[in-house]
Amino acid sequence: MERIRIEVQNYIFKYNGKEFSRTISFGACFCNDPKLEVDVIINTADENLYKAKRSGRNNIKTSVVEIIENKDSQ
């Protein structure tokens, strides 16, 4: 993601004879537990995107979501 962020930041866009640049923010959530519901992962990634934007834009915020199983349920 960092490589993509830097590529976008450094790219000069051209439109109607004008040049401009843009920045991009990412929010991501990593999880290796197949039992975790997709909605939880998407909502967490979305929260991270808004954290990235609130911290000045052109940022990446990530987190890892893990399920901690209750030993009593085993």
Domains of the chain: 2-66 (3.30.70.270)
Phi first, then psi: give them for residue 61, nearest 5 degrees: -125, 130
Burial class (CB in 10 A: 0-12, 13-18, 19+), 65: middle
What pTM does this model have? 0.75
Mean pLDDT calculated for residue range 5-12: 96
pLDDT tens for 33-59 read: 888 889 999 999 999 999 999 998 899
pLDDT at 11 over 70: yes
Q: What is the DSSP letter of 59?
A: -
State the chain's mean pLDDT as an integer.
89
Amino acid at 15: Y
Which CA distances in Å does 46 have to 41, 56, 71?
9, 16, 31
Provide, rounded to the nearest whole percent, the portion of the chain with pLDDT above 90: 74
pLDDT value of residue 33:
84
